[in-house]
Amino acid sequence: MAEATARKSFTDRMSRSDVSWKLHRFMYRISGGRIGGRMFGVPVLLLRTRGRRTGELRTHPLMYLRDGDRLFVVASNAAAVDRDPGWLHNLRANPVAEVQLGSEVHRVRAEELGPEERETWWPRLVDHNPKWAGYADETDRIIPIVALHLQAT
């Protein structure tokens, strides 16, 4: 009996959200971004970070705004608005990461924006994706913005 209660089914271990994000990452990767490259009309990249505790590679589909050699991403963590997403903690521990833009993979260096620069960029980002304003309304925390600087190869 104890064994039966200790074992969870696949559906118990994974929420629908987990499955949909795994599918999104998979489809983006194999299609070179043709499938999953936009969400709600906003471009999507795949961010690959190294787990700060496990050292394992983690891949996160994120909406972004491009400005020259910088890709701006918002650490809204929509499903859990009251805490920063894991990928942000990973970038704070190691700011070197990779992004997949369509079929191209680039090395990036992450920089979390300070208060002044954040204030400048927040309105542009909300114009680009109004959903971010809704996330900000649902939490007391200031939602971080990260600039991913494309590195020369």
CATH fold of the domain at 8-150: Pnp Oxidase; Chain A (2.30.110)
Q: Where are the domains of the chain?
A: 8-150
Which residue numbers in the chain have pLDDT < 70? Answer: 1-19, 21, 78-81, 153
> Each residue of 26-39: pLDDT tens digit?
888 888 888 888 88
Q: Are 147 and 70 in contact (CB under 8 A)?
A: yes
C-alpha torsion angle, residues 109, 82, 33, 29 (rounded to 10):
80
Neighbouring C-beta atoms of residue 110, cutoff 10 Å: 22
Q: Give the whole-angstrom CA distance, residue 36 versus residue 133.
A: 22
Q: Give the whole-angstrom CA distance, residue 118 versus residue 145.
A: 7
User: Three-state SS for 125?
Assistant: helix
